[in-house]
Amino acid sequence: MPPAKKRTRSYDPAKTRAAVLTQFRHVREAVEAFTPGQLDGPTRLGAWTVRDLAAHVTTALDAVTRYLGEPAPPQRQLTLLGWPGATRSAAPGIEADARAIDATDPAALYAATETRYEEAVAGVSEERLVPTRFGAMTLEDFLVTRTVELVVHTDDLNEATGAGIPYDRQALAACTRLLADVLAVEAPGGAVEVRVPPYAVVQCVEGPRHTRGTPPNVVETDPLTWIRLATGRTGWAAELDAARVSASGERADLADLLPLMG
């Protein structure tokens, strides 16, 4: 019998819209309070300063604004589950875009970004196609990708500054679920169950499929650790050693499958 086809998870469009804006506002509030010294401090993203990273966060919304200002493409080219993998080749362009942003006044930058975004998305259907740099996708799907950008970079900012920026629950859930579903697509199978409570459970990796009782191969971790693993912010061995990941069973080793995006 052929393996079951992976069904794309559905996301509530209204909740996604609210989550994107809420998470952006959490970051905005923190960035507006950063001192010049904090803004000039280092991050875990190579040569990027906190100011560079803060400027890059605005592109999560400005990309929506920009794409909605362009003609709608004739057909869809990219699925939601295809987006994380497509980003792996985008690092040079993303860095160039971030460094081109004038971040001398972060408060003004964030205020203007939010205003443009709210005006751009008002009244626009979730089915509207937008021409992203990786291919045309629906606005609904693209907004889910914005939760990934915002949550991941909120974590980057928190690591760099200790600011304790909060995570919107819906944004964190969407980010966690999307990255878990991508793992299930890139490593199809039913031999390993990956649990990221309270948001996601997926089965992956070729081998005997578990159907009843306790699975023989289980990986479990928390949402932020999972997101860091999936985006290359941390490594599998380090998180196992720190007991932030538990892995039981001879197939429960995801080291060769991570990260899922750059």
Length of the chain: 262
Cα gap 244→258, rounded to integer Å: 16
Give the tens place of pLDDT for each residue, 88-106.
877 666 777 777 899 999 9
Element at 11 (helix H, strand E): none
Give the tens place of pLDDT for each residue, 169-194.
999 999 999 999 999 999 999 999 99
Cα gap 30→224, rounded to integer Å: 19
**Count of domains forming the chain:** 2
CATH number reported for the structural domain that contains residue 213 in this entry:
3.30.1050.40
Residue 128 lies in a domain: yes
Residue 3 lies in a domain: no
**Which residue segment(s) compose the domain that 63 sits in?**
13-168
Q: Which of 154, 73, 59 is nearest to 113 (CA)?
A: 59
For residues 116 and 24, state if they share a domain. Answer: yes
Per-residue pLDDT at 192 = 95
For residues 163 and 190, state if they share a domain. Answer: no
Per-residue pLDDT at 88 = 81
Tell me the one-letter amino acid at 239. Answer: E
Q: Are 129 and 73 in contact (CB under 8 A)?
A: yes
Domain termination site, one of 134, 168, 202: 168
Per-residue pLDDT at 7 = 55
CATH number reported for the structural domain that contains residue 54 in this entry:
1.20.120.450
Domain termination site, one of 108, 140, 168: 168
Please report where in the chains the tokens 């944004």 appear, as a residue: 171
Give the tens place of pLDDT for each residue, 125-159.
999 999 999 999 999 999 999 999 999 999 999 99
Going by the DSSP 8-state scheme, the letter that residue 34 receives in this structure is -
Residue 163 lies in a domain: yes
For residues 156 and 180, state if they share a domain. Answer: no
The pTM (predicted TM-score) of the whole model is 0.94
For residues 134 and 157, state if they share a domain. Answer: yes
Is residue 5 pLDDT above 60, yes or no?
A: no
Q: Are 47 and 98 in contact (CB under 8 A)?
A: no
Q: What percent of the chain has pLDDT over 70?
A: 93
